[in-house]
Structure 1
């Protein structure tokens, strides 16, 4: 059941398991109690009373997230979310990773929760690349330290590659590449070496590039490209 819900784009597999534990999922009008519950072709699944359609084929979108949107489905503070900014015809999707409120750039969206989880895992070895503007005095030796990995406030960050692009006064543009993508990783690491991030733009996630996609624009990745760059089980190929 948890896997089925993830494929249907309801939530990630882990989030779906939590929803099952909270009694929010029903199968043929009976509350589901175990994530390992099997789903048959004609079963009726509801999430908090709403019928969920069977999973569509895997789909993926590139979205140019602007500053001021939060990457979550529900924000307790009432801030506008990425998903509220989607067109009305957009199916329910989840994000591959996140960008915080004050970050912008490439955000991948998919209707396949299992795929999102797969692409977020460090084992995917997909490089996330960012254009980052920092304020402060640059010490190249600090960047050499980051290449070996660094521990900040008890959290260990894997190697981060930093290249200096341009400087104007105390503001410096950097290209930052990493694979883990922990919560607010770049901001925290830069603060640790006495640099303040005042702009952060994700320009690539694995093989997918932001390119010239305008702010707020959404573009679906073709199924052919998904198969070439990610690879999908044969069952997914048949759904094309």
Structure 2
């Protein structure tokens, strides 16, 4: 079988990069790099481009080893502690979330990220397509956080958060925020947002002269951190 795209009147199957991602082999992006490196074969023919579809009964080889059928889609909750980065490969050699997972899990990927000093709920899945879908702002899932900032929070700053603001040329959407408690020079807040740009809460609060000293994600859409250890 050649590795040309399937004809229009044939069942198309599943794109090979997606197939490898669901099988827990690698991410879609890395799958394309593996194809370019000549590491993938389909029915004993080399795969030279990602526009190839895998159908039932096809045999896929990675580095000469057969790939098993993709596992059913699964999702896990993980309580991320401070001090771990959410990446499979960190160029600085810092410990990662994936270094700390229990043995026996398939290859998983995170749905969104939490930065090094952030804590709380991180969703993990073995399905790359699901991860991408749930990360999209269009999905509309609310992310909820408990946030400690240094300083007092005036009503006008809560209003600016609710309206959305621009920081260093980046426009951030509305953030719903409420004051929970004040402890000496610190204020604990509940914050909710739907967009989730990189380090969004930290950057927005820094722009309001309220540096974040602790950030805990307590919910991602319908999934709650709860009492997860």
Aligned 8 A contact 1:12 1:114 in 2: no
The structure-2 alpha-carbon separation of the partners of 1:97 and 1:24, relative to structure 1 and needing over 3 Å to count, comes to farther
Partner of 1:121: 136
Partner of 1:82: 97
Per-residue CA distance 1:88-107 (angstroms, 9 max, x = gap): 11111101001111111000
Q: Using structure 1 for the length normalisation, give the TM-score.
A: 0.82
Q: In the alignment, is residue 203 of structure 1 matched against residue 218 of structure 2?
A: yes
* Pairing 1:1-240 to 2, within 5 Å after superposition: 1-21=16-36, 23-47=38-62, 51-214=66-229
The RMSD of aligned alpha carbons is 1.9
CA distance in 1, matches of 2:114, 2:180: 22
Per-residue CA distance 1:34-93 (angstroms, 9 max, x = gap): 222011333343445654322111101011011111111111111111111111111111
Where 1:77 maps in the other structure, the secondary structure is coil
Stretch of structure 1 that moved more, 99-108 or 1-10? 1-10
Q: Using structure 2 for the length normalisation, give the TM-score.
A: 0.86
Partner of 1:232: none
- How far the C-alpha of 1:120 sits from its partner, in A, is 0.2
Unaligned runs of 5+ in 1: 215-240
Aligned 8 A contact 1:12 1:116 in 2: no
CA distance in 1, matches of 2:176, 2:26: 32
CA distance in 2, matches of 1:72, 1:33: 28
The structure-2 alpha-carbon separation of the partners of 1:176 and 1:73, relative to structure 1 and needing over 3 Å to count, comes to same
CA distance in 2, matches of 1:193, 1:24: 50
CA distance in 2, matches of 1:107, 1:127: 14
Partner of 1:224: none
- How far the C-alpha of 1:117 sits from its partner, in A, is 0.4
CA distance in 1, matches of 2:119, 2:63: 32
- How far the C-alpha of 1:209 sits from its partner, in A, is 0.1
CA distance in 2, matches of 1:14, 1:101: 23
